[in-house]
Amino acid sequence: MGEGKTENGPVLAVFAHPDDAEISSGGTLAKWCAAGRSVHLLVLTNGDRGSDDASFDRGELAATRARETAAAAELLGLAGARVLGTHDGDLENRAEVRAEVVRAIRSLKPTTVLSCDPTAWFFENRYYNHSDHRNAGAVALDSVFPGAGNPHFFTEQLEEGLEPWDVKDVWLGWTNEPNHHEDVTGFMGAKVAALAAHVSQVQGEGIRFFEEWLPREAEEAGRKIGVRHAESFRVLDLE
Ligand SMILES: [Zn+2]
């Protein structure tokens, strides 16, 4: 893809859980916000299973995570963040979910949609990808094409005044097949701070783990393009 080609226009980030965007792409999102791009986040589940404590009330956890998402969005500089009501762990690539993403695309008219790679099942035989993450990536891709740009999908939205919209490029984080490393030098602080706003997820030692691991991961990606910190993506140029 041409360097600089995509560095303008609105962005829609689509992820499964309230803290996914920060962990996978927080540096890039903060960088785009700082550059003046209007970046919106759509979280497809409410994160209500994001706890190992069986005594946690799931409704309360969802409410807490919605507040944390708003706080993190402010730290990144996002133009907006919405959390949908699907239960954590129950995300499927269904028409009802795609309708929400297509509606967001047709409303916000993003040049770029950012999500995660739905084909990434295994990471170095150390762990495998959450089904919600894979499904979120599939929902995002299928909403871009064939969805938002085709007037025969979700026609009720057109009757409401929305118009078909063609997204120009899709960026997929959490991928095993990166073809682009985005320089996020100077934005790791914002990334870690935004993640730390998800207090329910990083209590105790949690944030210390990420404070060590995220810069190390970013340094590894950065070495590939000769910068201090980078985030890796599979970028699809749809133009
Ligand atoms: Zn997640």
Please name the helix (run of DSSP H) or strand (run of DSSP E) that holds residue 10, with its range, or none. none
Which residues sit opposite 43 in a β-bridge?
Answer: 15, 83
d(CA 49, CA 125): 24
**Rg (Cα) of the chain, in Å, rounded?**
17
- Residues with CB under 5 Å of ion ligand 1 are 17, 20
Q: Output the CA–CA distances (angstroms, integers) from residue 136 to 70, 151, 219, 233, in the order listed.
A: 20, 23, 27, 16
Q: How far is the CA of 21 from the centre of ligand 1 (A)?
A: 9
Query: Helix crossing, 188-196 with 58-76: angle to 10°?
Result: 160
Please name the helix (run of DSSP H) or strand (run of DSSP E) that holds residue 172, with its range, or none. strand 169-173
**How are beta strands 169-173 and 127-128 bridged, if at all?**
unpaired
**pLDDT value at position 170?**
98
Q: How far is the CA of 103 from the centre of ligand 1 (A)?
A: 23
Phi then psi dihedrals of residue 203, to 5 deg = -65, 155
Three-state DSSP at 128 gives strand
Mean pLDDT by 10 residues, the chain (239 residues): 62 98 98 98 96 91 97 98 97 98 98 98 93 98 98 98 98 98 98 96 88 96 98 96
**pLDDT value at position 4?**
46
Q: How far is the CA of 130 from the centre of ligand 1 (A)?
A: 7
Q: How far is the CA of 188 from the centre of ligand 1 (A)?
A: 19
**pLDDT value at position 7?**
62
Q: Output the CA–CA distances (angstroms, integers) from residue 190 to 135, 187, 217, in the order listed.
A: 27, 5, 16
Chain position carrying tokens 């490393």: 181
